[in-house]
Amino acid sequence: MSAVVEAPANAKAAYDARWQRIMDCVALRQPDRMPATLFGTFWLAKYAGVSYKQLMYDLDGTAEIAERAVLELDPDTVSPLVLQTAMGPTLDATGYKQVQWPGQGVGDNQPYQYLDREYMPPEEYDDFLFDPTGYYLRVYLPRVMGAFEGFSEFPNIAGGFYFRLFANVRGFLNPALQESWARVQKAGQVSQELAEHNNRFVARMAGLGYPMGNIATSGAPFDVLGDYFRGARGILTDMRRRGDKLLEACDKMRRLLVKQVVPAAKAAGNPIVFIPLHWAPDAFMSQDQFKTYWWPSFRQMMLDLIAEDLIPMPMWESDCTKRLEIIQDIPKGKAIYWFERADIVRAREVLGDTVALRGNVSPSTLTTGTPEDVDAAVKYIVDNVWNNGGRIILDAAFGLPDETPVENVRAMFRAARKYAG
């Protein structure tokens, strides 16, 4: 269907106007209307009546469905809808072990789900800190991706010198490593295909007048260590058992994350860096623990991104209302804070002169309510945030819940235009 929709003649002007609305919000100016954004994953399956599995594996089909949804809903920005769902072939090729996905552990109509495990035992903190690249190559990648299993035999090259360097080269003959290398090359091709599909989708959307709300993605240092290395039990008890080590690792991880995401965002040509946050909520740790262990490395990461002319867009999962005063401490007009369950009215009061806001139509209203309920929820945000001078980008609490009835999504976008220009 992509082929039959012609790019409108005014697409460039429409693109610029939409993008300007987001940039106005970031710069703390109120735009001509409240921007509304389309961020979804498996909701596209609901929209098109296909299975989640199909969405993960049929890259062209997913792009076509995404385009149809965008053209119907006419949002101001779009998330990288293909990249966020059509990962099935890449997950298969890499033998990724940290999630289960349709056909690999969960049913054909269930979303991919992360598996909370200890992927790095505490005694390996020092290995990670001493030589993160060596640790990734020989330990972490073989542990979390089947394609890398043979990389546990990767020769120990650091410390090689002069003729010793030649001796180390022999290590690359290792059969397990060679076998892995072949798998990794294949996985690289599959991953490249996904990237190309994403690039085509982004270009296609731009041609139709729709900018991306973000392309590059990162994580907070504490969260990355917690979710993908230490696991929930590990990271929680590390605060009590080895706080200094945890802080050292957060600082190291911060520098690695910045080194990854800055070139990625620049190559993508979109300055907004989406950073979903997991361990910040009020209920998870005390204010003191938050201020000591969670916030400093993330704050510094945001400053690092801002220094590179990028726009951090953290999504504060769950309820972070008690953290608002703490997280206010960043330069004004440089970031978008997306809130899931935090009180958005209070967020405007505390942060309205510091950051743009994004969110946060309730997932329960969207999934179980009527279009009238959704209309009322949007009106609440308009009345209490937008009409009070709030620079807010309308979205659901964490993007559209997968189960949201299509009528309710239509109601959300309709209400944005009805109440806020």
Partner 1 sequence: MSEMTEQEARLVGHLAEMEEDEGIDLAKKMLLEEGADPMRVLELCRAAMDIVGKKFEDGEYFLPELVLAGEMLDTIGAIAKPLIKNAPGEEPRKLGKVLIGTVHGDLHDIGKNIVSFMLDINGFEVKDIGIDVPAATFVSEIEAFKPDVVGLSGFLTLAFDSMKETIATIDKAGLRSDLKIMIGGGQIDETVRAYTGADAFGVNAVEAVSLCKGWMGVNA
Is residue 222 within the footprint of partner 1 (CB under 8 A)? no
Tell me the site size for partner 1, rule CB under 8 A: 32
3-state secondary structure of 342: coil
Is residue 401 within the footprint of partner 1 (CB under 8 A)? yes
**b/e 14-47 (16+ beta carbons within 10 angstroms → b):** bbebbbbbbbbbbebeebeebbbbbbbbbbbbbb
Q: Would you say 99 and 58 are in contact if contact means Cβ atoms under 8 Å apart?
A: no
Binding to partner 1 (CB under 8 A) within 108-167 occurs at: 110-111, 113, 115-116
CB of 69 to partner 1, least distance (A): 18
Is residue 191 within the footprint of partner 1 (CB under 8 A)? no
Binding to partner 1 (CB under 8 A) within 226-245 occurs at: 232-233, 236-237, 239-241
Q: How far apart are CA 406 and CA 39, in angstroms?
A: 14
Instruction: Report the residue from 3, 4, 173, 283 that binds partner 1 according to the rule CB under 8 A.
Output: 283
- The strand pairing partners of 86, in sequence order, are none
Nearer to partner 1, 74 or 373 (CB): 373
Q: How far apart are CA 412 and CA 380, in angstroms?
A: 12
Instruction: Report the residue from 403, 406, 410, 414 that binds partner 1 according to the rule CB under 8 A.
Output: 403
Kindly state the tokens that stand for 225: 């260590």
Kindly state the tokens that stand for 417: 């235009």
Q: Helix 406-420 crosses helix 371-384 at what angle (to 10 degrees)?
A: 30
CB of 370 to partner 1, least distance (A): 11
Nearer to partner 1, 185 or 237 (CB): 237
Give phi and psi for 87, each to the nearest 5.
Answer: -95, 0
Nearest to 344 by CA among 399, 382, 304: 382
Binding to partner 1 (CB under 8 A) within 317-356 occurs at: 317-318
Nearer to partner 1, 193 or 373 (CB): 373
Is residue 12 within the footprint of partner 1 (CB under 8 A)? no
Residues lying near partner 1 in the complex (CB under 8 A): 100, 106-107, 110-111, 113, 115-116, 232-233, 236-237, 239-241, 283-286, 289, 317-318, 362-365, 367-369, 401-403
